[in-house]
Amino acid sequence: MAPEATAQVSTDKPNFVILLIDDAAFMDLGVYGGEAATPNIDALARQGVMFTRYYTSPLCAPSRAMLLTGIDNHRTGVATIPEVLPKEHVGKPGYTMRLEPGVETIATRLKPLGYRTLLTGKWHLGSDEGALPSAHGFDRSFALDASGADNWEDKSYMPYYREAPWYEDGEPASLPDDFYSSRFIVDQMIDYLGETDSAQPFLAYLGFQAIHIPVQAPAEITAKYRETYTDGWQALRERRWQRAKEIGLIPANAPLEPLRPGMRAWESLSEDERALYAARMAVNAAMLEAMDLHIGRLVDHLKEQGLYENTVFVITSDNGPEPSRGDNDWRLKLWMRFNGYHLGLDGIGEKGSWGFIGPEWAMAASSPGDLFKFHSSEGGIHVPMIMAGPGIERGIREDAVAQVTDIAPTLLEMAGASGQTAGVPITGRSLVPLLSGAADAIYGPDEPIAMEVSGNSALILGDYKITRNQKPWGDARWRLYNIKTDPGETTDLAAAAPDIMQALLTAYDTYAADMGVLPVPDGYDSQKVLTRNTQMRQLKSYWWIGVIGLGLILVAVWGVWRLGSTLLKSGGH
């Protein structure tokens, strides 16, 4: 039997719960037409506003910096992620890979208003001295400062990291033996909430690891989806496209971009390969459902404590779906073998399984958009966003443009914060007029929004968008699309509408100059930079192995030389 609900505390300030999903596509959630069962998120969407034109950045850390500060990523110091930072940008202003002086988080801004500020889950904004959540306004935090980690164990998921860097309140921390990421992130937040005076408003930021690689989920949930994806990625891409038209997310005549050259046809895989890849996507859906289940536990807890009715919920994703594979690089496969991971079908998604979906499933998941994470096509930056709670209209689908930097100023206005502080100015805008029904748009027809991460760039102005995507799936060329009629970015209008193209390029140049965007080196390829940076990290971490190896080689050479000298002397006698 549930505990008896306490009386609702009367306060002028709402509580805030930010639920950040990792790598979710625009249509991944049930309410957006996805296959995974997400009833708790769907219920919040029905009680609030479901955004259909919300944009983020194409990579996790820049999105998180913008969400938590309301400031463009280049002004926060987290212009990209350390893993793909080219050496030409290291240490440059805006590219220090940590929140720079004067950049205030929403937690820092809410504390003077009496808020208790709490964080659990992924941080990925730095762990050097003064870089963790405890130095940026959070009273309590249990934070992962990495792009990801294992979901069942306290260990790294890729060679870039020696271990999973978890910290509690700024100090290194370990995980419980029964750890599963979504459950733990919610459990820890419930524990922190239990320390909060019930009369004190709170900010609760939960950075889930779902559905970042390694994709892992409880076997009993995965079993529900074992037949869902057996017809392959092209079928899923077309099915989501049709579903998007049925529920009005895109126009009825919107075209669909085909799979990119270099992507495999489902029919080209062997029967065993198709079974394995279908199971990988089943785990992906199960990981979403598992996360939603634990979100439901948090919602129930808030209801039991009488806090739910005065809580504003924000649910979104940091970027689009993850295209990386784990089975096409011998170095990664070798690392997995030494670190207790397997890629097989048996026990898939369970402890020791290194799950991924790869570029073809990511392309299918991003439907009706094009491409995925890392890129500024719709599949990389157009993601779900839901807001619900006091002062927010109920059951509304919002088609006005919004972006990730708008969340922080929205919550600050709801909390009664007044104006800018002495720190770096907020660049986003409050969505309160939209959420209350007082306005139809936050950005006028002549006001663009723009974003850039590692040369992957976009600018949206009214119905038009220019985008530039870098290698490995792009060619660094600017293209122009009418994303109202062509949300799948299938027809480049640059040649047909040169005046519009030039106007948007000029607007982008203004944005880049204002925000301090640095151009990427010629031929920039994030995957190649990741490989180089990983090798450098490993060399730094495991230098002693090289020293020992060099020592053994020198000893061996010396031994051969001594043996040769002895034989020569013996021959001389």
Q: Which pLDDT tens digit goes with each residue over 183-236?
A: 999 999 999 999 988 789 999 999 999 999 999 999 999 999 999 999 999 999
Confirm if 26 and 237 have CB atoms less than 8 A apart. Answer: no
Looking at residues 351-361, what average pLDDT do you find? 97
Give the list of residues 6+ apart from residue 277 with CB closer than 8 angstroms, or none: 229, 233, 269, 358, 360, 361
User: Which among 285, 259, 322 has a CA at the least distance from the CA of 81?
Assistant: 322
**pLDDT confidence of residue 539:** 60
Residue of 544 and 92 predicted with greater confidence:
92
What CA–CA distances, in Å, run from 218 to 107, 181, 350, 502? Answer: 33, 11, 6, 51
Kindly tell me the sign of the dihedral angle through the C-alpha atoms of 396, 399, 404, 408. Answer: negative
Question: Which is more confident, 544 or 126?
Answer: 126
Classified as helix, coil or strand, 143 is strand
Q: Element (H or E) spanning 159, and its range? A: none
Going edge to edge, which strands form the sheet with 49-51? 171-172, 166-168, 140-144, 116-122, 202-207, 15-21, 311-317, 385-388, 49-51, 396-398
- Catalogue the E-assigned strands of 368-463: 385-388, 396-398, 402-403, 449-453, 456-461
Residue pLDDT, tens place only, 434-487: 999 999 999 999 999 999 999 999 999 999 999 999 998 999 999 999 999 999
d(CA 375, CA 489): 13
From the CB of residue 100, how many other CB atoms can be counted at a distance below 10 Å? 17
Cα(343)–Cα(327) distance, integer angstroms: 7
User: CB–CB of 532/515 below 8 Å?
Assistant: no
Please tell me the chain's helix, strand, coil percentages from 3-state DSSP, rounded to the nearest 5. 40, 15, 50
DSSP assignment letter at 6: P
At residue 546 the predicted structure's pLDDT band, cuts being 50, 70 and 90, is very low
Give the pairing of strands 402-403 and 54-55. parallel
In the predicted structure, residue 21 carries a pLDDT above the cut 60: yes
**What amino acid positions are annotated as catalytic residues?**
60, 124
Q: Is the pTM of this model over 0.85?
A: yes
Mean pLDDT throughout 114-132? 94
User: What is the pLDDT at residue 544?
Assistant: 42
**Element of type H or E holding 311:** strand 311-317
If you search the block for the tokens 């157009």, which residue do you land on? 382
CB 289 within 8 A of CB 36: yes
Q: Which two tokens stand for residue 206?
A: 């939960």
Q: How far apart are CA 438 and CA 392, in angstroms?
A: 11
Q: What letter would DSSP give residue 136?
A: T
Give me the chain's average pLDDT, please: 91
Residues 6+ apart with CB under 8 A from 59: 80, 81, 84, 318, 319, 373, 374, 453, 454
Q: At residue 545, does pLDDT exceed 60?
A: no
C-alpha–C-alpha distance, residues 21 and 386, integer Å: 12
pLDDT, residue 4, reads 31
Query: Tokens 């990988």 belong to which residue?
Result: 280
DSSP state of 233: H
d(CA 357, CA 320): 13
